[in-house]
Structure 1
Amino acid sequence: MSRPLHVLRPALLVLLVLLALPVVSAQGVTDANSAEACEQAEPIISDVGTNAEASPFEEFICTIAAALHIREPLNDSPTDNTSEWVVLGYGTLLLLAVLTWIIVLFARITPRRMLRLKPESKIAEVAGGQTATYALTLTNRRKRRPATIELSVSRPPKGWSASLSVDKELPSGFKELVGEGDALRVFLSARKNLAHKAHIVLAVRPPTGADPEEWAELDVIAVPFHKENPLTKKAKEVRVVTLVREGVAHTAIRDVRHNPEVFRPGDEVTTTVVIGNTGETDNEDVRIKLNVNGEDVDERETDVPAGGEEEVDFHWTAPEGKARVRVALA
């Protein structure tokens, strides 16, 4: 897999600087005539070995010398100029080859930071049977290429449930390809387009009646989907922790009805009280009192489930005169 061109530009700049160093270090001079520069390099090559014909590599060195317009250095000693040019030419080429190999290798093994998976929070605390939700933002950081992302969540403990979904209420520029569940796939456009983010929701639910000391640790994993080469996947993970706390019940009287609605002294009256629980856990042994004209007439007990309601009936006889009826939780 090749790296984008803008990533390799600094490396190419370094190579060009290193390629220009022989001109300075050799204290040579430039010549507008490249053919003359190559002729100056020919005696250097012929002195490297025997009088045999120049090899392709030696011709390559001559070509580089001609391209750089390098002349034979001005040296008074006829015995040192050849070795100086040979060491300079071969050493520079070897250094450039090694540096190029290192840069290419680094570019291939360095992971692409094409994804960012950022949660709003990593810890939530809920009662047993309630749902903890985590909001995550998935971003495609590539500027020119869209990405198809596979999202999944690790397996929750026994009795727990976990699912991923796309938040339909938030603006997004993605297309959901797979529905809600423990895994889904989304499509993100390129970054320069406004539609390069997706808002993901993870829902974690502990079992009803879970011990307050229980907890679960789950991983949300985002992997670029490459149909042509699965080995090029670069995963991004976020770990969230869900704690179970003791639930709280919120019980209140929702409605009071009398039958008959209008009664006379001595009439048998039935008062129905509706009690609701909006809390996170069941409320047991809830006591309700009926008071008529300041006196307690009756008291009942009932259990109200979490998120549910119960009806309690009181039967009493209407007194003489005006009856002021009051119902309250004990």
Structure 2
Amino acid sequence: MNPIMFHYFHGDYGNHKPCQGSMSANHLEQIIQHQKIRVLDVDEWVFKLSNGTLQDCETCLTFDDGIREQWDIALPVINAFDIKANFNLCSFQFSKEKDNFEIYRHFRNYYFEDLEDYYEEYFSQCVIYFKKSNLETPTDINFSNYLPNSTFYTLQDRKFRYYRDEILKENHFLILDEMLKKQKIDTVKLEKKLWIKKEEVKDLALQGHEIGLHTHQHPTNLDKWGYARQQDSFLKNQAVLESIIGKKIRHCAYPCGKKNDHTLRLMKEIGVKYAYSAHDYDFDGDLLNIPRIDCTDMLKKLNIK
């Protein structure tokens, strides 16, 4: 079975609010204890995958982005079951640099009544931007065909990601920054409570969990980046994280599952042996293209409410 991919968790500890795709500690416990699967340590899972002895019921746990609720809510659960997981981390926050990806996510989940309200505001701002830029608002796109492998996305999710990655690209951030400005969000204050801390990353490694790369900045369109730009991001990511944990990193997860030939070349050059997508499909034997099943799809598969 493919690895399970986790991002967000909710619960009283740390006051983490439920959001799209988030799970409770109880959800995670039910997955780990479910009779239809067997959760292995990540090193055992990749070893069995590599030598062809992996059983259909065997999986492992992977966590992307290094966000606070993973430390607060998920880690106590997996430690209680003595499971060693994979944590794929960006590193800009440890270099006192800025990247608003997680700030935008927090803004979306904590400052709107629900996700539909957020999308309504976002697309309204897009219309304003298109008019100012003398661009036509897209009207003839079938968004249901976009990102077909991400079965957990709604139609609005797909439309949002199409606008973000295919139409607006870097200008997407101008729209989000305008939305932040309207609500007078103090992003500097917010940054301090969103991510796992440097000393906690070191602790994760000391506990036996596997630290993986996730690029330095967390782009949403890595597949559009050239070799030099990707090289700079991955080398920074590798240098920062390896300096924290004091050992070589062998795992990586591609941000948003995006990659291209430059990415695969770089994985080999920097010594990554196991790299994960963000989509579920049949594994073809390429250890640099390991599929994953999203945790929300796993809940459905196991009929966990």
Q: Where on the TM-score scale, by shorter chain, does this alignment land: which range?
A: under 0.3
Q: Computing the radius of gyration over CA atoms, which structure comes out larger, 1 or 2?
A: 1
Higher relative contact order (CA 8 A, sep 6+): 2
Q: TM-score if structure 1 supplies the norm length?
A: 0.17
Question: Which structure has the highest strand share of the two?
Answer: 1
Question: Which structure has the highest helix share of the two?
Answer: 2
Q: TM-score if structure 2 supplies the norm length?
A: 0.18
